[in-house]
Chain A
């Protein structure tokens, strides 16, 4: 934005009204809409079938629905491009991003279905409505906020995705911004395009905020879950789920293994291990750095709620939604203006990670902190510890397991990061992600394979596991968090 302001209004308008800009807008929006519709449809149907119908192999299909979370979008893109060159452009991006984002919808809708009391559907039946009419008037309104909200997040994700669209060679804003910056050193164009992208993103964030009106579920301990008998449709449902399994999981994994085996003899182990070490270094340094600041903010937000917490929450959503390409470029501009010595250093890469992932870290770290009962802190104070000592000796040790898994989670997210690393890394430093990206860009599929495999093994699957653990902890802790904040209120009244 600073950059844009410097160009001057005339140039800015010139930059914006080019035909090419219009094309980019159409491309980005049509892809976002297509991916959003596909992901919402598939994620919602998957969630309903797995949670509310009588299909077979439920556990398997539940796993299938969330496994794509383990594949960064560019790994999936690589896996599909290397199957057939026909998978590229709009269609390829659509397929790959739909696979990547459907799990978000699945998780959100499943959560909504869990909160929904299916007894209300039975009541509706006794009031004279058919099964279809009940689905429309009762079930859909219950999951609509989750489906639409996650749909907008999917659109945001699509808009900010760089890895998949760039490998699929489909010109959206992120790819155009990167190319403008990299190829022509045309930073003004890059900045102008980034501005439009930010505007689009803000519109989506605004819409997402508006969908957050959901009817607080009437609190009940346990619901009886109605399982709809699909009858003749069961076969169709099983077939549909199986096709999605083949597209989203089986073919990508098979493709990665195929190319790994093909390229085995020519694999450059020196290069691979250097990239591996660099990746690990960034992951650990990034994880620790981000978690350190995240912890400080989380403690502030949880233990001293008030004027900051609302603002922090808001910032979390906005930074989180800004495309990595844009954030990375803004750091480039900023550093070149003020501290050029930082340009193309690992320190700058880490600072960018901090900006990109601090929101995730705060969200995840709030849980273990909130779980430490305020009572034990108060006891520590009466036993002579000052607030800092109490944090160091009581709160942090008590929350240690949660803090460690947050560090792991952030570290794994850092390892998968592509655009910022690609733009900011010091010359000569390569990570698994950048190697995979450059090899795929020149169709060197067998050379790219080991990086794809390693990325899934060391970042994807562990991230999936840590994420699930965090989710289950969050679910369990909701009650405890509530009671601890209630205690806080009482102690303040006293």
Chain B
């Protein structure tokens, strides 16, 4: 698989404020990269640089083997062959759904445009809405049309800027899956930026975490979640119990017991371990040293607060069989843990 997009050492400041520093990554043909970051973390700026709405201060952007942006040149957006799906869909309000989709197809004759539009309407499952105006569509439908519109000219890369942020939670997860399927069947290369961890992890082939304008970590969703490169990322990517520990005889000695590190550590190193709540197992035990102090019940699972020698920690348990408040338990850690030495 070839590289469809490659960023090398891209930096950007607005006035005195540095927004992106030395950002490098590449996206393989036909894959979806999500960029996860807090709001104001430079995610949108990154997309705008790739789309050509802003110019890089230094570094280069290569698209399909062609340099589109560097410190000395910048192709205008209309010459880049990118698709863009902004947060609020931004459909052209005066044009029907089919006219919106065919807007970028003016180089084709009308028969070819029609074929393409029908194909895309089929793909997004909105064949009946060909002549509707944007104002008559629901939020989710608008986003589908916006994606079809972006896909119509067969762009090299599709850029999606928080495309689900304006939708309510239920619609969001449904549309997320649909969008993933649409992008897959169009075999599109795409970058999606979001501040929602669940969203970033669930639909991506690859996730890049943008922190303070730098790429903090990039990898598969699984590796990002199970092996965050530092304690802060571990906490950012979901609940994590962080407790101090010290390496003794190849294991990490903590107040929750001796734990096995992912990667072998030199003897005597002090640091922290980060444990996901689902890796804690609570065994009901009348002689247990820990006590259940609280419980948030979600149905399919529950988050149980336990007071231990290491302080209060949260454990995820199976909903129907989670222990009651006040029950004494013994806390076990399942599997190996991530260890972060104090530098």
A residues with CB within 8 A of B: 117, 119-120, 122-130, 137-138, 141-142, 215-218, 220, 223
Residue contact A141 to B94, C-beta cutoff 8 Å: yes
Nearest CB in chain B to that of A222: its residue: B88
Q: From A122, A127, A137, A142, give the contact of B149 (CB < 8 A).
A: A127
Bound: A215/B91 CA distance, A: 12
CA distance in complex: A223, B93 (Å): 15
- Please report the C-alpha to C-alpha distance between residue A137 and residue B92 in the assembled complex, in whole angstroms: 9
Contact of B84 among A122, A137, A138 (CB under 8 A): A122
**Across the interface, do B94 and A117 meet the contact criterion of CB distance under 8 Å?**
no
Chain A residues in 8 Å Cβ range of B146 = 123
What separation, in Å, do the CA atoms of A216 and B94 have in the docked complex?
A: 9
**Nearest CB to that of B155 among chain A residues?**
A126
Q: Complex Cα distance A220/B81, Å?
A: 27
Query: Within 8 Å CB of B285, what residues of A?
Result: none
Contact of A218 among B81, B88, B104 (CB under 8 A): B88
Task: Indicate with 1 or 0, residue by residue over B177-204, a CB within 8 angstroms of chain A CB atoms.
Answer: 0000000000000000000000000000
Would you give 30 A-B contacts (Cβ < 8 Å), ordered by A? A119-B86, A119-B88, A120-B91, A122-B53, A122-B86, A123-B84, A123-B86, A123-B90, A123-B150, A124-B92, A124-B103, A126-B82, A126-B155, A127-B150, A127-B153, A128-B104, A128-B106, A129-B103, A129-B104, A130-B76, A130-B78, A137-B103, A141-B92, A142-B94, A216-B93, A217-B135, A218-B88, A218-B142, A220-B88, A223-B88
> For residue B245, which residues in chain A have a CB less than 8 angstroms away from its CB?
none
| Closest Cβ neighbor of B51 among chain A residues | A126
Q: Which residues on A sit within 8 Å (CB–CB) of B250?
A: none
Q: Which residues of B contact A120 (CB under 8 A)?
A: 90-93
Chain A residues near B338: list those with CB within 8 A.
none
| Contacting residues, chain B, for A122 (C-beta < 8 A) | 51, 53, 77, 84, 86, 90
A125 CB contacts on chain B under 8 angstroms: 52-53, 76-78
Of chain A, the residue at the smallest CB distance from B80 is A126
Expressed in whole angstroms, the Cα–Cα distance for A121 and B82 within the complex equals: 14
Question: Which residues of the partner chain B approach A142 to less than 8 Å between Cβ atoms?
Answer: 93-94
Quote the shortest CB–CB distance from B323 to chain A (angstroms).
43
Decide if B78 touches A129 in the complex (CB within 8 Å). yes
B88 in contact with A127 (CB, 8 Å):
no
Contacts of B82 in A (CB 8 A): 126
Q: Which A residues lie within 8 Å of B84 (CB)?
A: 122-123, 126
Q: Is B134 an interface residue (CB 8 A)?
A: yes
For residue A274, give the distance in angstroms from its CB to the closest CB of chain B: 56
A381 to chain B, nearest CB (A): 36
Tally A-B pairs: CB < 8 A.
Answer: 89
Per DSSP, chain B at the interface is loop
Task: Tell me which residues across on chain A come within 8 A of B103, comparing CB atoms.
Answer: 124, 127, 129, 137
Mark contacts of B32-70 with chain A using CB atoms, 8 A cut-off: 1 yes-contact digit, 0 otherwise.
000000000000000000011100000000000000000
Find chain A residues with CB under 8 A from B88 CB: 117, 119, 218, 220, 223
Q: CA A217 – CA B90 in complex, angstroms?
A: 10
Are B135 and A216 closer than 8 Å at their CB atoms? yes
Further pairs besides A128-B79, A128-B81: 18, Cβ < 8 Å: A119-B90, A120-B90, A120-B91, A122-B77, A123-B85, A125-B76, A126-B77, A126-B82, A127-B78, A127-B83, A128-B78, A128-B153, A129-B103, A137-B92, A137-B103, A215-B93, A215-B133, A217-B135
Q: How far does the Cβ of B16 sit from chain A's closest Cβ, in whole Å? A: 19
- The answer to the question of B89 belonging to the interface, with a C-beta cut-off of 8 Å to chain A, is yes
Q: How distant is B140 from chain A, measured CB to nearest CB, in Å? A: 13
Closest 7 CB pairs of A and B: A127-B104, A125-B77, A119-B90, A120-B90, A215-B93, A119-B86, A126-B84
CA distance A220 to B146 in the complex (A): 15
Whole-angstrom distance from the CB of A216 to the nearest CB of chain B? 5
Known: A125-B77, A127-B103. A218 touches B150 (CB 8 A): no
Which B residues are CB-close (under 8 A) to A128? 78-79, 81, 104, 106-107, 153
- A218 with B77, Cβ < 8 A, contacts A122-B51, A122-B84, A127-B153 known: no
Contact A220 B166 (CB under 8 A): yes
Interface residues of B in 148-164 (CB under 8 A from A): 149-150, 152-153, 155, 159
CA distance A216 to B136 in the complex (A): 9
Which of B78, B93, B94 contacts A126 (CB under 8 A)? B78
A442 CA to B21 CA in the complex, in Å? 73
**Cβ proximity bits B130-147 to A, threshold 8 Å, 1 near / 0 not:** 000111000000100010
Q: In the bound complex, do residue B135 and residue A218 qualify as a contact, i.e. CB atoms below 8 Å apart?
A: yes
Which residues from chain A contact B92 at a C-beta distance below 8 Å? Answer: 120, 124, 137-138, 141
**A130 surroundings in chain B (CB, below 8 A):** 76, 78
Minimum CB–CB distance for A227 against chain B, Å: 11
- Name the residue in B104, B153, B166 with the highest tally of chain A Cβ atoms < 10 Å from its Cβ: B104
Task: Tell me the nearest residue of chain A to B161, going by C-beta.
Answer: A119
In the complex the two chains form, what is the Cα distance from A215 to B83 in whole Å? 25
B94: chain A residues at CB < 8 Å are 141-142, 215
Say how far A109's CB is from chain B's closest CB, in angstroms.
16
Nearest A residue to B48 via CB reads A122
CA gap between A81 and B342 in the complex, in Å: 84
Contact call B89/A218, Cβ cutoff below 8 A: yes
Give Cα A470 to B106, complex, Å: 45
| A438, chain B: closest CB distance, angstroms | 50
Taken together as a complex, chains A and B put the C-alpha atoms of A124 and B104 apart, in Å, by 7
Is the Cβ of B149 less than 8 Å from the Cβ of A123? yes
Interface residues in B80-139 by Cβ distance below 8 A to A read 80-94, 103-104, 106-107, 133-135
Chain B residues, CB < 8 A from A123: 84-86, 90, 146, 149-150
- Determine the distance from Cα of A223 to Cα of B149 in the docked complex, in whole angstroms: 20
A215 touches B135 (CB 8 A): yes
| Bound CA–CA A287/B84 (angstroms) | 54
- Beta-carbon nearest neighbor of A118 in chain B: B90
B39 to chain A, nearest CB (A): 13
Most A CB atoms within 10 A — which of B94, B107, B142, B149? B94
Which residues of chain B come closer than 8 Å to A127, judged between CB atoms? 78, 83, 103-104, 149-150, 152-153
Distance in Å: Cβ of B89 to nearest Cβ of chain A? 7
Q: Cα distance A122–B84 when bound, in Å?
A: 8
Please indicate which of the listed interface residues A127, A141, A218 has the most CB atoms of chain B within 10 Å of its own CB.
A127
A122 and B76 alpha carbons, distance in the complex (Å):
11
* Complex Cα spacing A30 to B21, Å: 61
Q: How far is the CB of A148 from chain B (nearest CB, A)?
A: 13
CA of A128 to CA of B103, assembled, Å: 9
Given contacts A122-B53, A126-B78, A128-B104, contact A218 B149 (CB under 8 A): no
Contacts of A217 in B (CB 8 A): 93, 135
CA distance A129 to B94 in the complex (A): 17
Write the chain B residue with the least CB distance to A130.
B78
- Bound complex: CA of A218 vs CA of B142, how far in Å? 10
Output the nearest chain B residue to A129 by Cβ-Cβ distance. Answer: B78
Q: What residues of chain B lie closer than 8 Å to A138, measured between beta carbons? A: 92
Q: How far is the CA of A128 from the CA of B90 in the complex (A)?
A: 16
> Cβ of B78 and Cβ of A218 under 8 Å apart?
no
Instruction: Identify the closest chain A residue to B107 (Cβ).
Output: A128
**A120 to B153, alpha carbons, bound, how many Å?**
16
Minimum CB distance partner of B102 in chain A = A127
- If the complex has contacts A122-B51, A126-B83, are A117 and B90 also in contact, measured as CB distance less than 8 A? yes
Which residue on chain A has the smallest CB distance to residue B137?
A: A218
Kindly state the separation between the CA atoms of A223 and B86 in the bound complex, as whole angstroms: 11
Q: Which of A117, A128, A130, A217 gathers the greatest number of chain B CB atoms within 10 Å?
A: A128
CB distance from A250 to the nearest CB of B (A): 34
Q: Please name the residue on chain A nearest to B103 by beta carbon.
A: A127
Most A CB contacts (10 A, CB to CB) among B51, B93, B142, B149 go to B93
